[in-house]
């Protein structure tokens, strides 16, 4: 079967986006439920397609972690459908009046939330992203162009076909969901240049993908970047709290972007805190600066590269800092602006950390792991923005919209 | 004098931005007033520098319009100072709590407005932009890097020096205002690649500048794009209102982006409306489609290129449309997404136009000329965004900020 050119997929998505932008919440929620039912109804086909992807990955010698992300079972298909039902239950952001006023000349001005139009997503091996991203875009009134990885192509085809059927059953345009089946490198470079078609690109992947987007994209994009997150244990920290938070932030799910990668400890408390934290972090590979190694000598030295690295694994870099200023400076130097935490009992230290640390999220006495859409009350997320424009931190339905000024008058002209 | 490398200017701006982000409103307002006083205090020097720029432009044979934009007099210097005082009077967006809640686990979550950091502006010949942009950035807690045109370099030097002195007098870091004195083409390409330094680039210029930014920029940017604005006169329009609005939208200030460039008239009313509107538009060069020329035969034919062009002059393209759908389709095809107006007495037509036209601003029975920051209540503007991400429509102080999640807990960890 010949692959449909990207430009054609784009035109179809654009046309569908106009219809979807005017769809009622009732219609969109019905479509989300129909999509879920469609997915569950073809579980067998989805799992057969997924088995092909998994077998191919196995032949290619892909790592067990990657295969695990790729692999679906009946339970995971049900989870996708449940995810769509959860999105249906969220409030519709479209139509929200953000603010408004009457001007001195009688003009009635308001800003109204409207869909972006066509959202493009570039993502890696998890086939559930196909369903999750499509659901969030559908609910927010956007058409979506999904460019998943080559490794998940068969799974994505089966999932996208089911979703399109669900959308059509609910009377909305199936072209609102477009799977990009050309998974070549050339096609992804073409994809990020679909200016005029894609209103917002969300690249979900590693530094190589982000670098490609920075170099080639002409469409507007929101970077879902790395999380080199720090936990700073202040001089005044409650060490029970510190231990709980550091262990949770590092160990609860080390492969995700809101896991901690560096521990900073105030020098005054380091001789007591560090041995205790090191013991609690059993199973984590620790590397430390000179001052840390003077206290816990059996760990390897940490380089600047360690401090700059998002390990995404059971590895933690440790530095002892002289004071809060040194902690803030270390974070300013190495942070990727994702999530930064302080453990403290000191009001002034908490206040300064909140104000002076420049990140999407700053946390006081709480684990960095809370920085995701579900935990912060967004309901679901399509990514976590580490940039400052448009969206910062977890991106939910609201971040998939823009605003429009509506100005109503009675014949006013400007003098 | 050797020009300071861009990277050094950038480092200075970045350092200053950290200090400025924590400055109180009192300090920032004092600095704005000090900047205004500094400008007025060196009016003679500014006018002497400006005279050099004007003389150079004259020798280069630059058009009278461009020279007029470039030329300063004592009154214009006072206006710049008054503009800074007006910005001081605006509310400070920094610190605003955008929203917040307590999560079920007791975490206290809020989103707080914070400065972007370093704002970069690339602009053309108007030296007053140097002062206006610096004032808005200062008020919103941002450092600014100003890259004006070669033609205004002497004026910009004198203005920037006065502003830096004002900032310093108020006890804030003068490095918060950086004039880029290397006005070469190579330097502007380097400028738009200062990723990690410039947090938001605002290119204010024509299509060539925007194209350069799309191709080369790696920093985040907000495009201040063209305005190919339409006025649609509906079947039910009050023709007195239509005449007033069309004349105002086209003629009141034809050189600006919110002026109208195309008039669409419903076929049912065109035989009455068009002759009347054409007469009212005396002095405007009119071009029209076949149906328009059948009614007002003494105008030239309009090409698709005319309908796609932002004339920025006393020229107007006219099309007769069969119905509201055809008007919306014409706008969807040719609009740049800036400002689109309908003149109507029909509730359903107004409602559909508001909902279905995709633009930063849609207007009912009001002139497109109202779409600017001052008229819509933003107080002042740094540009008008025609993109959908981050800012849409007039950009004021709020659009020069981002948000930060602040999460406060009592030792919560994720399970």
Top CATH class, B229-370: alpha beta
pLDDT cut 90: percent of chain B above it: 91
Contacts of A412 in chain B (CB under 8 A): 365-367, 370
Chain A with chain B: Cβ pairs closer than 8 A: 208
Q: Which alpha helices (H) appear in B265-393, and where do they start and end?
A: 270-280, 290-295, 304-307, 324-334, 347-356
- pLDDT given at position A327: 98
Q: Burial letters for A379-399: b for 16+ Cβ neighbours within 10 Å, e otherwise?
A: bbbbbbbbbbbbbbbbbbbbb
**Which residue in A101, A248, A413 is closest to B244 by CB distance?**
A413
| Residues A338-387: tens digit of each pLDDT | 999 999 999 999 999 999 999 999 999 999 999 999 899 898 889 999 99
User: What band does B245 get if pLDDT is binned at 50, 70 and 90?
Assistant: very high
* Min Cα–Cα distance to chain A from B229, Å: 14
Contacts of B254 in chain A (CB under 8 A): none
Nearest alpha carbon to residue A50 among A162, A151, A122: A151
Place of tokens 């030792």: B411
The tokens describing B95, both together, are: 């610190």
What's the rounded Cα separation, in Å, for the pair B360 and B127?
27
Q: A376–B238: do the CB atoms touch at under 8 Å?
A: no
Q: B200–A387: do the CB atoms touch at under 8 Å?
A: no
**A354–B contact, CB cutoff 8 A:** yes
Nearest alpha carbon to residue B246 among B339, B341, B312, B372: B341
What's the rounded Cα separation, in Å, for the pair A261 and A316?
5
Q: In what order do the strands lie in the sheet with A200-203?
A: A177-179, A143-147, A118-122, A200-203
Residue B1 confidence (pLDDT) above 70: no
Contacts of A410 in chain B (CB under 8 A): 241, 365
Nearest alpha carbon to residue A201 among A329, A71, A390, A5: A390
User: In this predicted model, which residue has the larger pLDDT, A66 or A233?
Assistant: A233
- pLDDT given at position A207: 84
What's the rounded Cα separation, in Å, for the pair B343 and B326?
15
User: What band does A65 get if pLDDT is binned at 50, 70 and 90?
Assistant: confident
8 Å CB contact between B332 and B358: yes
Nearest CA in chain B to A347: B408
Q: What is the mean pLDDT of chain A?
A: 95
Question: In which residue ranges of chain B is CATH 3.40.309.10 found?
Answer: 229-370
Q: At what angle do helices B153-169 and B43-59 cross, to 10 degrees?
A: 160
Residue B248 confidence (pLDDT) above 90: yes
**B19–A contact, CB cutoff 8 A:** no
What's the rounded Cα separation, in Å, for the pair B411 and A239?
10
Question: In which residue ranges of chain A is CATH 3.40.605.10 found?
Answer: 6-224+395-407
Q: Which helix (H) or strand (E) holds A16?
A: helix A6-21
8 Å CB contact between B302 and B311: no
Torsion, CA B9, CA A306, CA A231, CA A314, rounded to 10? 150
Q: B362–A103: do the CB atoms touch at under 8 Å?
A: no
| Residues B278-290: tens digit of each pLDDT | 999 999 999 999 9
Mean pLDDT of B200-226: 90
| Residues B380-404: tens digit of each pLDDT | 889 999 999 999 999 999 999 999 9
Residue A1 confidence (pLDDT) above 70: no
Q: B407–A362: do the CB atoms touch at under 8 Å?
A: yes
- pLDDT given at position A64: 86
**A412–B contact, CB cutoff 8 A:** yes
Nearest alpha carbon to residue A175 among A151, A194, A197: A197
Q: Which CATH superfamily is domain B6-223+391-407 in?
A: Aldehyde Dehydrogenase; Chain A, domain 1 (3.40.605.10)
Nearest alpha carbon to residue B266 among B333, B321, B312: B321
Mean pLDDT of B199-217: 90
Mean pLDDT of B111-123: 97
Q: How many other C-beta atoms lie within 10 A of the C-beta of residue A327?
A: 26
- pLDDT given at position B194: 96
Contacts with A, B 187-216, CB within 8 Å: 195, 199-200, 214-215
User: What band does A2 get if pLDDT is binned at 50, 70 and 90?
Assistant: low
Say what the pTM is: 0.93
Residue A226 confidence (pLDDT) above 70: yes
* Min Cα–Cα distance to chain A from B10, Å: 16
- pLDDT given at position B108: 98
User: What band does B206 get if pLDDT is binned at 50, 70 and 90?
Assistant: confident
Question: In which residue ranges of chain B is CATH 3.40.605.10 found?
Answer: 6-223+391-407
Contacts with A, B 94-123, CB within 8 Å: 101, 103, 107, 109, 114, 116-117
* Min Cα–Cα distance to chain A from B174, Å: 20
User: What band does A236 get if pLDDT is binned at 50, 70 and 90?
Assistant: very high
The tokens describing B97, both together, are: 């709590």
Residues paired with A319 in a beta bridge = A264
Range A6-224+395-407: architecture per CATH? 3-Layer(aba) Sandwich (3.40)
Q: What is the ipTM of this complex?
A: 0.94
How far out from the chain centre does Cα B365 lie?
Answer: 23
| Residues A313-331: tens digit of each pLDDT | 999 999 999 999 999 999 9
| Residues A82-138: tens digit of each pLDDT | 999 999 999 999 999 999 999 999 999 999 999 999 999 999 888 999 999 999 999
Q: What is the mean pLDDT of chain B?
A: 95
What's the rounded Cα separation, in Å, for the pair B354 and A26?
21
| Residues B38-91: tens digit of each pLDDT | 999 999 999 999 999 999 999 999 888 889 889 999 999 999 999 999 999 999
Mean pLDDT of B245-269: 96
Mean pLDDT of A7-23: 96
What's the rounded Cα separation, in Å, for the pair B61 and B76?
24
User: What band does B187 get if pLDDT is binned at 50, 70 and 90?
Assistant: very high
Nearest CA in chain A to B358: A404
Contacts of A375 in chain B (CB under 8 A): 103, 107, 414
User: What band does B2 get if pLDDT is binned at 50, 70 and 90?
Assistant: low
Contacts with A, B 34-53, CB within 8 Å: none
The tokens describing A193, both together, are: 């240049």
Contacts of B114 in chain A (CB under 8 A): 358
**B393–A contact, CB cutoff 8 A:** yes
Give the β-pairing of B229-233 and B260-266.
parallel
What's the rounded Cα separation, in Å, for the pair A312 and A226?
10
* CB proximity list for B247: less than 8 A, separation 6 or greater: A413, B280, B281
DSSP string covering A102-154: E-TTS-EEEEEEEE-SEEEEE--S-THHHHHHHHHHHHTT-EEEEE--GGGHH
The tokens describing B399, both together, are: 């659009």
**A222–B contact, CB cutoff 8 A:** yes
């Amino acid at each position: 079967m010949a692959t449909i050119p990207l430009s054609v997929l784009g035109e179809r998505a654009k046309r569908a986006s106009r219809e979807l932008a005017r769809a009622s919440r009732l219609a969109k929620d019905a479509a989300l439920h129909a999509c879920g039912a469609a997915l569950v109804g073809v579980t067998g086909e989805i799992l057969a397609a997924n088995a092909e992807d998994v077998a191919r990955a196995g032949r290619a010698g892909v790592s067990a972690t990657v295969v695990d992300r790729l692999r679906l079972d009946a339970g995971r298909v049900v989870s996708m459908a449940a995810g769509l039902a959860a999105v249906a239950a969220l409030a519709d952001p479209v139509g929200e009046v953000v603010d408004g006023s009457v001007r001195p000349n009688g003009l009635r001005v308001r800003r109204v939330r409207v869909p972006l139009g066509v959202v493009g997503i570039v993502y890696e091996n998890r086939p559930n992203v196909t369903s999750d991203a499509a659901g969030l875009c559908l609910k927010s009134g956007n058409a979506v162009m999904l460019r998943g990885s080559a490794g998940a192509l068969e799974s994505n085809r089966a999932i996208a076909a089911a979703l399109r059927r669900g959308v059509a059953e609910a009377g909305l345009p199936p072209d609102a969901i477009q799977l990009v089946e050309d998974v070549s490198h050339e096609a992804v470079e073409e994809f990020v240049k679909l200016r005029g078609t894609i209103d917002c690109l969300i690249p979900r992947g590693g530094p190589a993908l982000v670098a490609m987007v920075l170099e080639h994209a002409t469409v507007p994009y929101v970077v879902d970047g790395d999380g080199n997150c720090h936990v700073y244990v202040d001089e005044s920290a409650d060490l029970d709290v510190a231990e709980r938070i550091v262990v949770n932030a590092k160990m609860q799910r080390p492969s995700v972007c809101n896991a901690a990668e560096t521990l900073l400890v105030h020098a005054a408390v380091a001789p007591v805190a560090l041995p205790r934290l090191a013991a609690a972090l059993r199973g984590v590979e620790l590397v430390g600066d000179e001052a840390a190694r003077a206290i816990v000598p059996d760990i390897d030295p940490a380089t600047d590269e360690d401090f700059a690295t998002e390990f995404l694994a059971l590895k933690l870099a440790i530095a002892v800092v002289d004071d809060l200023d040194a902690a803030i400076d270390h974070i300013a130097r190495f942070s990727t602006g994702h999530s930064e935490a302080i453990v403290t009992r000191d009001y002034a230290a908490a206040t300064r950390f909140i104000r002076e640390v420049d990140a999407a999220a700053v946390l006081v006495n709480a684990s960095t792991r809370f920085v995701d859409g579900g935990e912060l009350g967004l309901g679901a997320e399509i990514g976590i923005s580490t940039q400052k424009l448009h969206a910062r931190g977890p991106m939910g339905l609201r971040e998939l919209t823009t605003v429009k000024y509506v100005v109503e008058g009675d014949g006013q002209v400007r003098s």
